[in-house]
Structure 1
Amino acid sequence: MALIVFSPGNLHALSVRLRILGGSGAFQYGPFNCGMQRRWKKPVDSARTRLEGRTRDHRLDKLMVQLRNLRLALALRELISQQRNGYASLQLLSKWRHEVGLNIDIGAFLKKYPHVFQIYMHPVKRNHCCKITQKMADLIVEEDAVIRENEIDIVQCLKKLLMLSTNGTLNMHALWLVRRELGLPDDYRSSILPRCQHDLYLESPDTLSLVSRDEKLAVAKIEEWRKKEYTEKWLAESETKYAFPISFPTGFKIEKGFREKLKNWQRLPYTKPYEKNDSHPIHNVERLEKRIVGILHELLSLTVEKMIPLERLSHFRRVFAMEVNLRELLLKHPGIFYISTKGSAQTVILRESYNKGCLIEPNRVHDVRTKMLDLILSGCCNIGEPESAAWVAEEYDQGSCHELQNIMCHVDTENSILELETDSDSYRKRHITEELPCQHFCDSQENSE
């Protein structure tokens, strides 16, 4: 047995250790206090911890990052379009970058997307300016034209939303926040609502009301899926009558007893989204939650891209009778919904509508927005001097090739600046030996004339 000698040095060291442990609040267990009860701190289980520990879908997260860059580009385009001449200086855009949520330098962001933004030197003010490229401008016009053509579908979508509400009304501000998700034009209040007063009307400046219900529209998207599953796959009616399509992300861990709970939940009856439950109120918590899941499923099905920001979704909690913690409810059903935290916002995505990060059933509005996203993903690819020089000739047509030489147009083509020579002698010499961008200018002007 070891002999412990309590010398003055050992006692001093022991006292120092005790003071350190007592000052830090730590309580060390040893051979003399091992019989004392040790209380373990219970781990926190909340919606935030479950959101951080969920199984992530990397394809959907990557898509949300790409869509965020597209939203920032469209926000900058909106600011530029508000200017009188259709362009804005970089100094002015740098003051607005925080308003659109841009946390990097405005010049670095614009240089990343030369297919969307054109940077040039103003011929008079001699400062760097920015405008939207012709490709992006054409896509914006095409998107607006497609939305105008879908006026009938827009009216049906608004009627379905009003039928989902408890009292047949919607707040106009909440509707304005999700106008892009629903595919509404910015001027829908003055362009669409006055032409469909027999279906919708403004009860007040802030409230949109439904004139009468249309039972033909009171069919949820999930009910069409159940009918298809029942007729094509010959499944039992008990398995599909109240079921939802389930698809878990890759790597999802199925715990013990999870399959049995999911099977029982799929068979649980509930009040469908377009059915009113005023005469038969729901007292079962699980049935109430399943009804809310059905309403959220139908709301996401009415959107263009089958997704909606969680913050904007909360504006419909009271009008759709969803008085629960929506984030907790969505996290309880990872096979139906997915919450992506990428793109500086929490976005709810309908999982069944996507396969490998792509929308399974795209629509015309989504196709145009996909073309816009392609311009964002193109980056600096396929950007060369001939294309930039042709743009300079089209933008600043002074009537002669020599006048174009006097304008120093700085075009961002992979961090290079196109400089046009002003010396007429060197120009004639190079005009004989090699093909110059100026030759393209003259050819384009002769063809236009």
Structure 2
Amino acid sequence: MMLKTRTLPLLSLQPLKWDLGLPDSFEKTLIPKYPQFFQLVKASNGVSCLRLVKWCDEFAVSALQKSNEKKGCENEYVEFKRGQKALVFPMRFPRGYGAQKKVRAWMEEFHKLPYISPYVDCKNIDPNSDLMEKRVVGVLHEFLSLTIHKKTKRNYLRSLREELNLSHKFTRIFTRYPGIFYLSLKCKTTTVTLREGYQSGKLVDPHPIARHRDKFYHVMQTGLLYRAKGNLRSEEDVLMLDNVAKDEAGNVDSEEEVETSDEFCEDEVSETDEMSE
């Protein structure tokens, strides 16, 4: 629904299966169940694509809009819907960065700009304007909000750049707005994360799929430890199963930690972007 042609090549969607919680062979198992929404088509170059058949207004509401609506700020949200007020992105800056006066002034001006929903057509917006930049921030914010772990690899977004109406050097947005996004360069892989999705290295609102993945990881790790010791005792099995049962009763599992070091260099990341682009 965020794409300008409402059509996406399956090759661009395949790498995102894990991040979006899609099953293997989703084009054969999931899509045929919803013919009223999706259709598999062939592009002019013979590439298989997924096309949106029916537009639903109830789904064309961004995560930022939903969060502001749930906060109980009814008057503010009504003002936004009337075009009298702009929505503010939640921000959590690296230590010392957000305290700088020029950064605060810049962010205040940024927040005053109208919020452009990623589901709204943007063809009439000047591509070089500040308004378009805020729209790009909104698109990337919404995309990351839709992922299971609120993060994805930067290269996965490159294949969607044209369809999402992103600029050629859109990855610089991540370093220009470190209060919204966080870049991790671990293992020579650039991963972009939504800062508001994490607190103390854990997901703030874990998706059910994220909970199941964490339980599976715990079971596999525990089994490997016992096998290495050569003593897979029934007592420990029972204890492990009890812990999983407690998790299902509502305990929040520990999630994969996000690198929260603030010691990254914006210039260094920008140079990396230029080399890769």
TM-score with structure 1 length normalisation? 0.46
Relative to structure 1, the CA distance from residue 376 to residue 237 in structure 2 (aligned partners, 3 Å threshold; closer, same or farther) is farther
- Which blocks of at least 5 consecutive residues in structure 1 are unaligned? 1-162, 390-449
Secondary structure of 1:216 counterpart? helix
Aligned match of 1:287: 131
- Which blocks of at least 5 consecutive residues in structure 2 are unaligned? 235-277
**1:213 to 2:55 alignment:** yes
Which of residues 183, 189, 207 in structure 2 aligns to 1:345? 189
Contact 1:230 1:240 in 2 (8 A): no
Which digits, 9 at most, give the CA deviation of each residue in 1:130-154, with x for residues without a partner? xxxxxxxxxxxxxxxxxxxxxxxxx
**1:164 to 2:34 alignment:** no
Which of residues 34, 38, 44 in structure 2 aligns to 1:196? 34
Aligned match of 1:266: 111
Alignment of 1:25-104 (within 5 A): none
- Between the aligned partners of 2:170 and 2:217, the Cα distance in structure 1 is 30
Letter in 2 for 1:323: S
Deviation at 1:324, TM superposition (A): 3.3
Relative to structure 1, the CA distance from residue 371 to residue 199 in structure 2 (aligned partners, 3 Å threshold; closer, same or farther) is same
Deviation at 1:213, TM superposition (A): 0.9
Letter in 2 for 1:227: E
Relative to structure 1, the CA distance from residue 388 to residue 254 in structure 2 (aligned partners, 3 Å threshold; closer, same or farther) is same
- Between the aligned partners of 2:208 and 2:77, the Cα distance in structure 1 is 33
Deviation at 1:346, TM superposition (A): 0.6
Secondary structure of 1:164 counterpart? coil
- Bigger radius of gyration: 1
Aligned match of 1:364: 208
Contact 1:230 1:237 in 2 (8 A): no
Instruction: State the percentage of identical aligned residues.
Output: 29
Aligned match of 2:13: 175
Deviation at 1:381, TM superposition (A): 4.8
- Between the aligned partners of 1:272 and 1:282, the Cα distance in structure 2 is 16
Which of residues 297, 308, 312 in structure 1 aligns to 2:141? 297
Deviation at 1:194, TM superposition (A): 1.7
Letter in 2 for 1:223: Q
Contact 2:86 2:113 in 1 (8 A): no
Deviation at 1:271, TM superposition (A): 2.6
- Between the aligned partners of 2:98 and 2:92, the Cα distance in structure 1 is 13
- Between the aligned partners of 1:202 and 1:166, the Cα distance in structure 2 is 17
- Between the aligned partners of 1:194 and 1:283, the Cα distance in structure 2 is 37
Alignment of 1:330-409 (within 5 A): 330-375=174-219, 381-382=225-226, 384-387=229-232
Contact 1:308 1:349 in 2 (8 A): yes
Relative to structure 1, the CA distance from residue 355 to residue 366 in structure 2 (aligned partners, 3 Å threshold; closer, same or farther) is same
Contact 1:218 1:274 in 2 (8 A): yes
Letter in 2 for 1:266: H
Letter in 1 for 2:39: Y
Relative to structure 1, the CA distance from residue 171 to residue 313 in structure 2 (aligned partners, 3 Å threshold; closer, same or farther) is same
Aligned match of 2:271: none
Secondary structure of 2:147 counterpart? coil
Contact 1:229 1:240 in 2 (8 A): no
- Between the aligned partners of 1:321 and 1:203, the Cα distance in structure 2 is 22
TM-score with structure 2 length normalisation? 0.73
Which digits, 9 at most, give the CA deviation of each residue in 1:389-426, with x for residues without a partner? 9xxxxxxxxxxxxxxxxxxxxxxxxxxxxxxxxxxxxx
Q: CA RMSD of the aligned region, Å?
A: 2.8
Which digits, 9 at most, give the CA deviation of each residue in 1:52-97, with x for residues without a partner? xxxxxxxxxxxxxxxxxxxxxxxxxxxxxxxxxxxxxxxxxxxxxx
Relative to structure 1, the CA distance from residue 196 to residue 329 in structure 2 (aligned partners, 3 Å threshold; closer, same or farther) is same
Deviation at 1:285, TM superposition (A): 1.8
Deviation at 1:370, TM superposition (A): 1.3
Relative to structure 1, the CA distance from residue 331 to residue 374 in structure 2 (aligned partners, 3 Å threshold; closer, same or farther) is same
- Between the aligned partners of 1:235 and 1:215, the Cα distance in structure 2 is 18
- Between the aligned partners of 1:361 and 1:233, the Cα distance in structure 2 is 25
